[in-house]
Structure 1
Amino acid sequence: MHDLDQHKTGWIPRLIALNDLSRHMQPMQEALQAAFARVLARGWFVLGPELQAFEQAFASQFSLNHAVGVANGTDAIELALRGAGICAGDEVILAPNAGMYAATALAAIGATPVYADVDDDLNLSPQTAAACITPRTRAIVVTHLFGRMADMPSLRQLADDNALVLMEDCAQAVGAVQHGRHAGAWGDVSSFSFYPTKNLGALGDAGLVACHQASIAARVRQLRQYGWTSKYVVADGPARNSRLDELQAAFLSVQLPMLADWNARRRAVAARYASARHPLIRHPRTEGDDYVAHLYVVRTSKRDALMGHLRDCGISSDIHYPLIDSDQPFVHDDETSASVPVAAAASREILTLPCYPELTDHEIEQVCKALLTWNGE
């Protein structure tokens, strides 16, 4: 029997949610309210001391020279690429299976996405990326999908050998570490999203650009605010009005010290799920510090049947992401879809299970039991 909630019309099943932000925020309510009161009393709401403090703390924690807060993760991708010199007409290599966020940023710039297929972890494959390089290629965007870092030593070498900008989209991998270097520290520039459901989430939209070069950071700071060099003096562009506000910076500062513990709990949830073996379910790799279990995504050729079984067991699930970029109605490019067979096949099989720090041991066991008792129909 799964848990029950009393409803005014009787007793109804309570699903194990895919995520539960009320549970996540409840232990922090007092600290978050104090942060709100501090910002309110100061009366400084944009580009103030809270943002400066968060930028410095974030950069320090993840061994980054510069961190620049912006309004959201998609703006962060765009501004990171613009800051690194990517312009209209440039070709940029990326994976096709990451929700089209990077492609949206490239469309805003006017750059051309060139899709390379993915590896068994569903991250950009260095081998297929290498095959996509042309004289017009200027950058590689690496999305660390579902919280698993891509093969950064190989991709870093590939970018260096071809004089390309390497950009990391770390929206799903904040806190991950590969060969002693954090996600975001491998690239020339990187982007982070603090959407509420992320491993480090704001109470609204927020994002950040990180980099090692002062010149890139200075340009991103200009581009996030109209391209100003001084108030009302526009010296660079196209630019944005994209600023991480003081309230969100204060809320993120409350949470940043807790991230490592949250990531550890996510890994523990993922490891338990991975032990629930079923012949029709393919589990992701869960070992290593380069995995922070942002999403726990399994694969099965009978996805609809598994979704229905989980629902009957009182367990929510979802698909991240049902379409690769080239299959999106806005794009619809059959030739590109055919050139990325691994990503295309995975998009028909992937299924996301609940995975967040506040899951109880009982709920985790319910999910495992549901996986093990599925009859494949």
Structure 2
Amino acid sequence: MTTHVWDYRAEYEEERAEILDAVQKVFESGRLVLGESVLGFEAEFASYLGASHCVGVDNGTNAVKLALEAVGVGPGDEVITVSNTAAPTVLAIDGAGATPVFVDVRAEDFLMDTGLVAAAVTPRTKAIVPVHLYGQCVDMAPLNDLAAEHGLAVVEDCAQAHGARQQGRLAGTMGRAAAFSFYPTKVLGAYGDGGAVVTDDPDVDRALRRLRYYGMEDVYYVEQTPGHNSRLDEVQAEILRRKLGRLDTYIARRQAIAHRYAEGLGDLCEPGSLELPSVTEGNDHVYYVYVARHPRRDDIIRMLRERYDISLNISYPWPVHTMRGFAHLGVPQGSLPVTEALAERIFSLPMYPSLSPALQDKVIGALREVLRAL
């Protein structure tokens, strides 16, 4: 049987009764859109983070887009971010009418190199979107200092960092607004699409509630444009409410798997060969994905699939600025050397809370055999 990078089925069996009860509760409620389940999840997720406001939306991409619009980003503006991210981060910036401007990442942790951001600021810069990639946080203190100096909004992309901390502060509480995805693979995942924006700013909260609901405050009356149909679904919200109570358990399981990988593979690590994830000082890593690197990455993936039926993933094989869909940005190949070099070496080992010890051992043993055979 194939060992997948992610699989929800064992977790579903463990939580089946509660998930089905959540669905039944919504169906019996008499309210299928923007009802008590969405309101309840918004309050509970905001409370978990220690934030003032949470606005549920339909997916993580629109969470970034609506957050940018709510802080005033629009056509003609520039938004600084990274190319080593999932394309939706950049699609959201483009969708808000702004131009994405890329800075490189740090080789040691794959995260935005905040020391490069000041040079990317222009008179058109309106916001910065740091991506808390793979499960740990961008260095936020210097970024916030720079943003304050230039009057910029910081919108955290927390799609991969539910529950991650930096110096004790949770991801999503260190900018003017923060966007979350609840896609099923996430640390806190729904059983379909879902997202949210978190903020302490009441004006941003009010703008978000209009933006997700056609620009309306009252039914059938548009207060402002743009407006979107971007509401979090009641069923997904109720499922998320149930799963939110387990979030810290999910994180602990992911961290335990990461520790097991490090113990089982650490003796094979050396620069220029196998390198395992590092945790930046001050960060608590939640391991949304477990990203290793090796110069013969493609051979490793092929051999694990062919010999051991283990399926790995690459997050991400193509930096956003190299994709044909973003050729209009005119960012030349070679302009982000660290990002481009990482894309040729990184690969993700299986990582999800219900990954059994037996499958963990299978992955460790198979990878050790493959590395010896290279």
Amino acid at match of 1:338: G
Amino acid at match of 1:189: A
Is 1:54 the equivalent of 2:51?
Answer: no
* Cα distance in 2, alignment partners of residues 335 and 183 from structure 1: 29
* Cα distance in 2, alignment partners of residues 371 and 334 from structure 1: 39
For residue 155 of structure 2, the aligned residue among 167, 178, 199 is 167
Amino acid at match of 1:159: A
Partner residue of 2:74?
A: 87
For residue 200 of structure 2, the aligned residue among 212, 218, 222 is 212
Is 1:239 the equivalent of 2:235?
Answer: no
Where structure 1 has 5 or more consecutive residues not aligned to the other structure, the ranges are 1-13
For residue 308 of structure 2, the aligned residue among 297, 313, 317 is 313
* Cα distance in 1, alignment partners of residues 275 and 114 from structure 2: 23
Write the deviation string for residues 51-106 of structure 1: whole angstroms up to 9, x where unpaired: 10100000001111100000000010000000111111101000001022121011
For residue 25 of structure 2, the aligned residue among 2, 14, 38 is 38
Contact 2:212 2:229 in 1 (8 A): yes
Contact 2:191 2:236 in 1 (8 A): yes
The structural deviation recorded for 1:274 is: 2.1
Partner residue of 2:354?
A: 358
* Cα distance in 2, alignment partners of residues 234 and 255 from structure 1: 34
Amino acid at match of 2:317: P
The aligned runs of 1:338-357 (5 Å cut-off) are 338-357=334-353
Contact 2:158 2:178 in 1 (8 A): yes
Partner residue of 1:3?
A: none
Contact 2:136 2:283 in 1 (8 A): no
For residue 328 of structure 1, the aligned residue among 323, 330, 345 is 323
Contact 1:92 1:140 in 2 (8 A): yes
Backbone CA RMSD of aligned residues: 1.4
Amino acid at match of 1:122: F
The structural deviation recorded for 1:171 is: 0.5
SS of alignment partner, residue 298 of structure 2: helix
The structural deviation recorded for 1:370 is: 2.1
SS of alignment partner, residue 24 of structure 1: helix
* Cα distance in 1, alignment partners of residues 93 and 55 from structure 2: 20
Write the deviation string for residues 162-219 of structure 1: whole angstroms up to 9, x where unpaired: 2110010100000111112100000100100000111111111000011010110000
Partner residue of 1:129?
A: 117
SS of alignment partner, residue 351 of structure 1: strand
Partner residue of 2:99?
A: 112
SS of alignment partner, residue 105 of structure 1: helix
- Which shifted more, 94-103 or 287-296? 287-296
Contact 1:156 1:166 in 2 (8 A): yes
Amino acid at match of 2:351: C
Partner residue of 1:145?
A: 133
* Cα distance in 2, alignment partners of residues 62 and 176 from structure 1: 10
* Cα distance in 2, alignment partners of residues 199 and 191 from structure 1: 14
Partner residue of 2:246?
A: 258
* Cα distance in 1, alignment partners of residues 247 and 304 from structure 2: 29
For residue 283 of structure 1, the aligned residue among 262, 271, 276 is 276
Contact 1:306 1:376 in 2 (8 A): no
Contact 1:70 1:208 in 2 (8 A): yes
SS of alignment partner, residue 190 of structure 1: strand
| Paired-residue identity, % | 39
Judging changes above 3 Å, is the alpha-carbon distance between structure 1 residues 286 and 24 closer, same or farther for their aligned structure 2 residues? farther
Judging changes above 3 Å, is the alpha-carbon distance between structure 1 residues 34 and 271 closer, same or farther for their aligned structure 2 residues? same
* Cα distance in 1, alignment partners of residues 96 and 122 from structure 2: 19
* Cα distance in 1, alignment partners of residues 285 and 357 from structure 2: 21
* Cα distance in 1, alignment partners of residues 98 and 120 from structure 2: 15
Partner residue of 2:296?
A: 302
SS of alignment partner, residue 331 of structure 1: helix
* Cα distance in 2, alignment partners of residues 308 and 331 from structure 1: 29
* Cα distance in 2, alignment partners of residues 363 and 21 from structure 1: 14
Partner residue of 2:372?
A: 375
The aligned runs of 1:69-80 (5 Å cut-off) are 69-80=56-67
Contact 2:109 2:279 in 1 (8 A): no
The structural deviation recorded for 1:289 is: 5.2
Write the deviation string for residues 21-80 of structure 1: whole angstroms up to 9, x where unpaired: 111211111111111111111110111111101000000011111000000000100000
TM-score, normalised on structure 2? 0.94
Amino acid at match of 2:14: P
Contact 1:302 1:376 in 2 (8 A): no
SS of alignment partner, residue 325 of structure 2: coil
Contact 1:166 1:189 in 2 (8 A): yes
SS of alignment partner, residue 100 of structure 2: strand
